[in-house]
Amino acid sequence: MPSLIPVPEAIQVDTRGAVILHEDSPETRDSRGIYLPNHIEPVSYIAVDIGGSLAKVVYFTRTRDAPSTPPSTNGLVNGFHEPSDAVKLDATPSKHRINGALTPSSLDSPPIPNFAHRDFADELIRRAAMNNLPGGSLNFERFQTEDIEECVDFIHTLIAQSAAANGVSIAEMRKSVEIMATGGGAHKFYDLFTQRLEVEVHREDEMECLIKGLRFITLIPSETFWYSDELVQSVTRQTIEMERPSPDPPQYQVSFDTNPTPQLPCLLVNIGSGVSVVKVEADGTYERVSGTSLGGGTLWGLLSLLTPATTFDEMLALSEKGDNSAVDMLVGDIYGQDYGRFGLKSTTIASSFGKVFQKGEKKKGWRPEDIARSLLYAISNNIGQIAYMNAEKYNLERIYFGGCFIRGHAATIATLSYAIRYWSKGSKRALFLRHEGFLGAIGAWIKNMEPPQAT
| 262-294: b (≥16 Cβ within 10 Å) or e | ebbbbbbbbbbbbbbbbbbeeeeebeeebbbeb
343, 365, 387 - which closes a domain: 365
Judge whether 211 and 263 are in contact, CB under 8 Å: no
Say whether both 298 and 216 belong to one domain. no
Q: Does some domain include residue 202?
A: yes
Render pLDDT for 96-112 as a digit per residue (tens, 0 to 9): 667 677 864 432 343 33
Say whether both 389 and 256 belong to one domain. yes
Say whether both 360 and 371 belong to one domain. no
365, 389, 422 - which closes a domain: 365
Q: Does some domain include residue 77?
A: no
Listed residue (68, 20, 21, 17) closest to 39, CA to CA: 17
- State the average pLDDT for the chain: 77
Tell me, what's the pLDDT at 203? 95
One-letter amino acid at 355 equals K
3-state secondary structure of 136: strand
Long-range contacts from 168-173, C-beta under 8 angstroms, 24+ separation: 168/4, 168/5, 172/3, 172/4, 172/5, 173/5, 173/102
Say whether both 55 and 139 belong to one domain. yes
Say whether both 293 and 352 belong to one domain. no
Q: Does some domain include residue 300?
A: yes
pLDDT bin (cut points 50, 70, 90) of residue 235 is: low
Say whether both 219 and 230 belong to one domain. no
Task: Quote the DSSP letter at residue 455.
Answer: -
Q: Does some domain include residue 84?
A: no
Of the chain, the percentage scoring pLDDT greater than 90 comes to: 36
CB hemisphere CA count around 386 (13 angstroms): 24
Judge whether 189 and 149 are in contact, CB under 8 Å: no
Say whether both 268 and 341 belong to one domain. no
365, 391, 414 - which closes a domain: 365
Q: Does some domain include residue 339?
A: yes
Any residues with CB less than 8 A from the CB of 235 and at least 6 apart, and which?
A: 80, 227, 410, 411, 413, 414
Render pLDDT for 170-183 as a digit per residue (tens, 0 to 9): 998 898 899 999 99
Tell me, what's the pLDDT at 44? 81
Tell me, what's the pLDDT at 115? 37
Give the domain extent around 204.
1-67+100-106+121-223+438-454
CATH number, position 30 = 3.30.420.510
pLDDT bin (cut points 50, 70, 90) of residue 317 is: confident
Say whether both 219 and 354 belong to one domain. no
Query: Which of 17-31, 188-202, 420-434 is least confident?
Result: 17-31
Say whether both 228 and 211 belong to one domain. no
Q: Does some domain include residue 315?
A: yes
Say whether both 352 and 372 belong to one domain. no
pLDDT bin (cut points 50, 70, 90) of residue 68 is: low
pLDDT bin (cut points 50, 70, 90) of residue 334 is: confident
Judge whether 220 and 20 are in contact, CB under 8 Å: yes
pLDDT bin (cut points 50, 70, 90) of residue 19 is: confident
Say whether both 312 and 346 belong to one domain. no
Q: Does some domain include residue 281?
A: yes
State the Cα–Cα distance between residues 125 and 377, nearest whole angstrom.
55
Say whether both 172 and 219 belong to one domain. yes
Tell me, what's the pLDDT at 234? 58
Of the ranges 59-68, 134-143, 294-303, 446-455, the best mean pLDDT one = 294-303
Render pLDDT for 282-304 as a digit per residue (tens, 0 to 9): 988 999 999 999 998 899 899 99
Q: Does some domain include residue 113?
A: no
Tell me, what's the pLDDT at 250? 39
Q: How many domains in the chain?
A: 3
Listed residue (165, 163, 190) closest to 174, CA to CA: 163
Tell me, what's the pLDDT at 240? 47
pLDDT bin (cut points 50, 70, 90) of residue 247 is: very low
